[in-house]
Structure 1
Amino acid sequence: MSEPSPTRPARSEASVGVVQALVAYGLWGLMPLLFAAMAPAGAFEIVSWRIVFGLVFCAVAILATRSWLRTRALLVQPRVMGIMGIAAGLILVNWTVYVAATTTGHTVEAALGYFINPLVTIALGIVVLRERLRPLQWIAVGISVVAVVVIAVGYGRMPWISLALAFSFGLYGLVKKRVGGTVDALSGLTIETVWLLPIAVGALVVLGVTGLAGGLTFAGEGGVHVLITVLTGPATAVPLLLFASSARRVSLSTLGLTQYLAPVMQLLVGVLVQHEAMSPSRWVGFGVVWFALVLLTIDSFTAARRSARRDPVPEPA
């Protein structure tokens, strides 16, 4: 009797997770190009349509995956709804600042915000969660403070856009951590956009009636503009869902390494496509931040190795 032919091994969960993370951060890195293509729409209109069509996409996804019972169960829990309402407010601030930055010639400063974000997350862990840091983490946080000072001196002002993005997203992650084991990615995004829908509709009505900030451009710029505006829904939801799925499959150190892809791409878009100026002081400031991130990455991998040595995988019986 002949031996059975060996079956082709299935792709590991970790490799799938890495691909999902790279696609998610790649899409986030290209987001400034999408917002630029929506011109002459202003930041408030872009964010409002992003919420409206994001909710439409979530509703379709919930119907397709038949997960409405799970989402409905979360909608009747006051604690979950309260926490998700706070998360919605923080992500609204983040989206508005980011869209305003990338549509007014400040994409590089926005990219800096997401380079700083991992360091801000660590700082929030110290202040809010009373976490204890390893020596190399303390050094990385200290270096990031120096970087902000260097950039502020070069700008002649504090990099408020960068700090607003870093802290709003850092706080958003902190709030989401409170319900991380209860709320799945699709239900969470749906609840957040439900919270934000009245604000989005109100903003669209005000823009249409008053003509503020250029008014509404949705129906007045042709079919291509309408299509691009509608695509902000899946462009918002798909990276978040991919990221959430990736986070369940890969280690924190691997995920932390892939997250630098988005701000690198944003920086390239700002410099090469939108031709934003990069003064010597900016390059120095970015260089100091990158050095801090290298230290943080080394520390993450070292800590992961030590943990693996302490808790070896048992031999199969």
Structure 2
Amino acid sequence: MQTAEEARERSLGGIFTFSAYVLWGFLPLYFLLLVPTGPWELVAWRIVLSLVFCALLLTVTRTWPRLAAIFRQPKVLGLTVIAGLLIYVNWQVFIYGALNDHVIETSLGYFINPIATVLLAVLVLRERLRPTQWVAIGIATVAVLVIMIGYGAFPWIALTLAASFGCYGLVKKKVGPSVDAVSGLTLETLWLTPIAVVVLVVVGVSEGLTMGAAGWGHAVLLSLAGVITAVPLLLFAAGARRVSLTTIGLLQFVAPILQFLIGWLVLQEPMPLERWIGFGLVWVALTVLTVDSLLHARRARAAA
């Protein structure tokens, strides 16, 4: 029987995790406020400003020694490089979709992500799936085919987001608890900073940078890109330590649901019949996967 303190911690963890997913769900609206900043410049500023924000956090919390300790673990350090490259692809594709009227498709990517994670467990970790999980993967595959054939376009944004974030989660799992959230984001943005600097130089020479060129309000919003990036990650890290994986699995649908509603109701992106059918199949697959996970967790607890 859990104590009052344990119950409080679980409730707090649920609030932290839910808040992280809500913030991620509203990210498309924040990025749209930054127009005329293009996706390449925006991701570059996001990297640089996230690194600055993380450096400030490490200074305030006096956790630089924790970051320094990671440099004595070459294998872990190498994994943070891979994680950085994967999150760069994810950020770049997500922001491209958000700024080019594909918010609904970005939501599809995060709806598919849990299924992509299960598939990666088979392909990379050689895990054996339960029959119900195979059914969910089959339904999701049919959904993608329906959207692709009916809509007349390959949903590359959704599939790239699902694949990159799924692989990112896999790498983070291999890193394990040896890298905390702030140190992890610091290293990932540190490795990406040279790329970001090159991008800013190229954009500055070819098109001109928008930082400071579109008014003080725009400059302030763009300057907050590092905070907007880091805060949900820190909330998620704080929540994940306090709640079960089952709770995280259920709450992860908050972000794509919000993104879908923003794309459909706020930004008025088209939702023809074939898209509704495709999304409907994805939601059926997720329902199957979620129910299977809950039942499996219950059986495991009963066996224990």
Normalised-by-shorter TM-score class: over 0.9
Q: Who is 1:256 aligned against?
A: 249
Q: Which runs of 5+ in 2 are unaligned?
A: none
Q: Which runs of 5+ in 1 are unaligned?
A: 1-7, 312-317
Q: 1:1-317 counterparts in 2 under 5 A?
A: 9-10=4-5, 12-211=8-207, 215-311=208-304
- Displacement of 1:247: 1.6
- Displacement of 1:15: 1.0
- Displacement of 1:231: 1.1
- Displacement of 1:189: 0.6
Deviation string, structure 1 residues 226-274 (Cα, Å, up to 9, x no partner): 1111111111011111112222211111110000000000011111111
Number of residue pairs matched? 301
Task: Supply the AA of the counterpart residue of 1:246.
Answer: G
CA contact (8 A) 1:143 1:289 kept: yes
Deviation string, structure 1 residues 32-88 (Cα, Å, up to 9, x no partner): 011000000000011011011111110111111111100011134322221111111
Q: How far apart, in 1, do the equivalents of 2:233 and 2:150 lie?
A: 34
- Structure with higher Rg: it is 1
Identity %: 53
- Alignment partner of 1:181: what SS? helix
Q: How far apart, in 2, do the equivalents of 1:273 and 1:297 lie?
A: 28
Q: CA RMSD in A?
A: 1.2
